[in-house]
Amino acid sequence: MEPWTFRQYVSDWGEWPFRDWYNEQETRVRVLFDFYKDLLRNRENWLMPEIKEFRLFDGPHAPLGEIRYRADDEDRHGRMVKRRRIRPIGFLRETEHDFILFVGCEEIRNGQYIPSDAPDKALRLFREFQLGKGTLYELD
Amino acid sequence: MNWISARWKKLRDKKYREEFVAAQAKRAIPFQIRALMRKKGISQQQLAERSGLTQGVISRAANPTYGRLTLNTILRVAAGFDMAFIGIFVPFGKLESFFDRMSEEQLGNVLTFSEEDAIRTRLSEEDQPTATDIQQAAKLNTGNATRMEKLPTKVKKDSVRPTKIETGNLFDVPGGAYGR
């Protein structure tokens, strides 16, 4: 099976929303993103119902989807002190066998994100991309 | 070959390295338990019974976000699967190459002792290994059927001794490979 490619969208006015989000994150959040990226890269089917690490949005933010993982804050004994649900949002392009990342964010409870406009922003960038704007860069 | 990958550059940060090791230990093992259960067609309850653990412990062991698996539990699960577990210190290059090849299919592609034993027994009894045997032998050696560099060198008995011995032939050396 050919591995999936991860790309990020960069707007025509030089905005790197995903890279900027990634670089601002704590080390654990970044490492775990890299871990799940590696895991998903070699996964044949991202859309099987039992797969918990990715889901497609239904409703207003379709056809986008989000990678889902937890990067909880822990004490020195490894006990969770704060639950953190990390959600990089993008578009799964099966024809090109790639995943285009638009933004990264954190879900605080069902459907509420930090930053709060993250899914809307991802959708706006996706619409731009559909109009042929912006550039895609492969993720390291 | 690119010796300094993007990941290697990230690993130059000590904190990143520490979290990278933690991610492997805390997440990859539960993913492998899940992959093995799926591949072997074993439920959590069945694995619990074989491991001498409760279904709740297996559920946590297979949960990548649980993060507090003990070595004892891992060893009980290994016994339940009838597989070996290697927890050893390695250089970061090893871990990096593991991540580069990591997939659930590969994680679930581990033979139990009885599966391995059956292959070894058949190989030791057969004169000429079949293509399937060679693939299975590769699995025995590497845990990955795509790597073939450590294949057994077993050959058909008829072909061991050449009819005509040429000068410089291995078989012509007194006390050589077959101790003529």
Here the ipTM equals 0.86
Segment A15-44 shows an average pLDDT of 94
How far is it, in rounded angstroms, from Cα A44 to Cα A24?
31
- Residue A39's closest chain B neighbor by CA? B103
For position B156, what pLDDT does the model report?
45
pLDDT attached to residue B118: 93
Mean pLDDT over each residue of chain B, to the nearest integer = 78
Report the share of chain B in percent with pLDDT over 70. Answer: 72
Amino acid at B135: Q
Query: How near does any CA of chain B get to the CA of A32, in Å?
Result: 7
Answer whether A78 sits within 8 Å of B68, measured CB to CB. Answer: yes
Half-sphere exposure of A126 (CA within 13 A, CB side): 22
Confidence of residue A9 (pLDDT cuts 50, 70, 90): very high
Q: Residue range B143-169: average pLDDT?
A: 43
Best to test chain B binding among A5, A8, A25, A32 (most B CBs inside 10 Å): A32
Max intra-chain CA distance, chain A? 50
Q: What residues in A contact B20, CB-CB < 8 Å?
A: 31, 34-35
Name the residue range of residue A126's domain.
5-138
Give me the pLDDT at residue A18, please. 97
Burial class (CB in 10 A: 0-12, 13-18, 19+), B41: exposed
Whether residue B47 has pLDDT greater than 90: yes
pLDDT at B5: 86
Please indicate whether, in this complex, the C-beta atoms of B100 and A39 are within 8 angstroms of each other.
no
pLDDT at B75 over 90: yes
C-beta of residue A55 within 8 angstroms of C-beta of residue A69: no
Containing H/E element for B133?
Answer: helix B131-142
Contact call for residues A97 and A61 (beta carbons, < 8 A): no
The span from the CA of B145 to the CA of B107, in Å, is 12
Per CB-CB distance under 8 Å, the chain B contacts of A79 are 68
Distance from CA of A131 to the nearest CA of B (A): 31
CB contact under 8 A, B27 and A74: no
Looking at per-residue confidence, does B4 or B159 come out higher? B4
State the pTM of this model: 0.79
Inter-chain CB proximity B103 and A43 less than 8 Å: yes
Indicate which of B4, B13, B24, B27 best probes the interface with A, i.e. most A CBs within 10 Å of its own CB.
B27
3-state helix, strand, coil in chain B (%, to 5): 60, 0, 40
Contact A25, A104 (CB under 8 A): yes
Instruction: Name the residue with higher pLDDT: B3 or B168.
Output: B3
Q: What is the pLDDT of residues A54-71, one digit of tens each?
A: 999 999 999 999 999 999
B102 compared with A88, residue with greater pLDDT: A88
Residue A134 sits at the vertex; the CA angle it makes with A132 and A140, to the nearest 5 degrees, is 125
Count of domains forming chain A: 1
Residue B153: the pLDDT is: 46
Structure tokens at B162: 């050449």
Task: Report residue B141's pLDDT band, with 50, 70 and 90 as the boundaries.
Answer: low
- Look at residue A15 and tell me whether its pLDDT is greater than 90: yes
DSSP string for chain A: -PPPEEEEEE-TT---HHHHHHHHS-HHHHHHHHHHHHHHHT-S-TT-TT--SEEE--GGGTT-EEE-EE--EE-TTS-EEE--EE--EEEEETTTTEEEEEE--EEEETTEEESTTHHHHHHHHHHHHHTT-SEEEE--
Question: What is the average per-residue pLDDT within B23-35?
Answer: 90
